[in-house]
Chains A and B, each alone.
Chain A
Amino acid sequence: MGIPEIFAYLESNEPELQREGAFMAGEAMCREAIPQLARLLVSPNLGVQDAADMSLRKLGGKEVVAAVIPLLRSEDAPARNLSMDILRQVGHHNVQPLIALLKDEDPDIRIFACDILGATRKLRAVHPLCDSLLHDPEVNVRYQAAVSLGEIGKSDATEALNEALKDDDWVKFAVIEALMKIRDDSSIVALLGALDKSSELVASIIIDALGEIGHIKAVPVLINYFTGAAPVLRNKILKAVVNIMGTKTLTFLSDKDRVTFASYLLSAVDDEDTAVQDAAIVGLSCIGGEAASDKILMLAASINQEQEPERFQKAINGLVALGLTPALLNSAGSDDERLSKVALTVLIHMGTPDALQVCTKVFWHKDRDGQRDIARGVGALAGKEVKPFFLRILRESTDGSILKSALSFLGIRMQFVDVVEDIVPFLNHPFDDVKEVALDACIAIGGKSVEALFNEMLHDPDPFKRTMAVYAFGKMDVRSHLADLEDALNDEVADIRKIAMEAMAGVCGDNPDLLSRVVPRMINDESREVRRSLVEFLGSSQCSDAVAYLIKALSDADDWVQIRAIESLGTTGRCDVIPALRPLLTSPNQLIRMKVVQALGRIGGKEAFQELLSILDTQDMELLEAAEQALDLIQADDGEVLE
Chain B
Amino acid sequence: MTSSFTKSITLRKQVTMDDVEFGHLRDFIYEKCGIYIPDNRKYLLENRLLNRLRFLGLRTFGEYFYFLKSDQGGKTELQALFEVITTNETSFYRNPAQLKVLENGLLKSVMDEQLKKGSRDIHIWSAGCSTGEEPYTLEIILHEILKAQRSLWNITIMAGDLSEAVLASAARGEYTEYALRTTPKAIIARYFTPIGNGRYLINPAIKKHIFFHQINLNDRAQLRNIRRSHIIFCRNVLIYFDEAMKKRVISSFYDNLLPGGYLFIGHSESLHNISRVFKPIHYPSAIVYRKEG
Contacts and interface: CB of A to CB of B under 8 A. Distances in A.
B63 A591 contact: yes
A467 B63 CA distance: 27
A529 B53 CA distance: 12
Interface in A579-606: 588-591, 594
Nearest to A505: B11
Given A50-B276, A54-B247, A560-B57, A436 B8 contact: yes
Interface stretch (A217-225, A356-364, A444-452, A495-503): A495-503
Interface centre among B4, B9, B67, B277, by most A CB within 10 Å?
Answer: B9
Interface in B261-293: 275-278, 291-292
Contact of B251 (A16, A54, A588): A54
A440 to B, nearest CB: 9
A16 B70 CA distance: 39
Interface residues on chain A, size class: 35 or more
Contact of A590 (B5, B11, B70, B255): B70
Given A588-B72, A590-B66, A591-B67, A502 B10 contact: yes
A590 B65 CA distance: 12
A499 B10 CA distance: 6
A495 B7 contact: yes
A432 interface: yes
Interface in A73-93: 78, 82
Contacts of A464: 1, 3, 5-6
B69 interface: yes
B71 interface: yes
A591 B70 contact: yes
A463 interface: yes
B290 to A, nearest CB: 11
Contacts of A495: 1-2, 6-7
B116 interface: no
A296 B4 CA distance: 46
Interface in A511-540: 528-529, 532
Nearest to B1: A463
B11 A502 contact: yes
Nearest to B56: A560
A474 B13 CA distance: 13
Interface in A36-85: 46-47, 49-51, 54, 78, 82
Contacts of A19: 255
Contacts of B70: 589-591
A541 to B, nearest CB: 17
Contacts of B56: 560
A475 interface: yes
B57 A435 contact: no
Contacts of B292: 46
A54 B246 CA distance: 13
Nearest to A594: B66
Nearest to B278: A46
Interface in B1-54: 1-12
A471 interface: yes
Contacts of B93: none
A46 B276 contact: yes
B212 interface: no
Contact of B12 (A50, A439, A467, A502): A502
B11 A471 contact: yes
Q: Is the interface of A mostly helix, strand, loop or mixed?
A: helix
A467 B251 CA distance: 54
B65 to A, nearest CB: 10
Contacts of A435: 5
A463 B66 CA distance: 34
B57 A432 contact: no
Contacts of B136: none
B254 interface: yes
Interface centre among B2, B6, B12, B292, by most A CB within 10 Å?
Answer: B6
A559 interface: yes
B275 A589 contact: no
A28 to B, nearest CB: 14
B239 interface: no
B57 A474 contact: no
A439 B9 CA distance: 10
A601 to B, nearest CB: 16
Given A529-B57, A591-B66, A432 B8 contact: yes
Interface string B67-104: 10111100000000000000000000000000000000
A567 to B, nearest CB: 9
A241 to B, nearest CB: 32
Interface centre among B57, B66, B67, by most A CB within 10 Å?
Answer: B57
Nearest to A493: B1
Interface centre among A436, A503, A529, A591, by most B CB within 10 Å?
Answer: A591
Contacts of B69: 590
Contact of B9 (A467, A493, A594): A467
Nearest to A463: B1
A588 B71 CA distance: 8
A193 to B, nearest CB: 40
Nearest to B57: A532
Contacts of A588: 71-72
Contacts of B275: 50
Given A46-B276, A46-B277, A467 B72 contact: no
B3 to A, nearest CB: 8
23 contacts: A19-B255, A46-B276, A46-B278, A46-B292, A49-B276, A432-B3, A432-B4, A432-B8, A435-B5, A436-B8, A436-B9, A439-B9, A474-B11, A493-B6, A495-B2, A495-B7, A499-B11, A502-B12, A528-B57, A588-B71, A590-B66, A590-B69, A591-B63
Listed from nearest, the 3 A-B pairs whose CB atoms lie closest are A495-B6, A502-B11, A463-B1
Interface of A: 16, 19, 46-47, 49-51, 54, 78, 82, 432, 435-436, 439, 463-464, 467, 471, 474-475, 493-496, 499, 502-503, 506, 528-529, 532, 559-560, 563, 588-591, 594
Given A436-B9, A471-B11, A503-B11, 15 more contacts: A47-B254, A49-B277, A50-B254, A50-B276, A51-B251, A432-B5, A436-B8, A464-B5, A496-B6, A506-B11, A532-B57, A559-B72, A560-B56, A588-B72, A591-B66
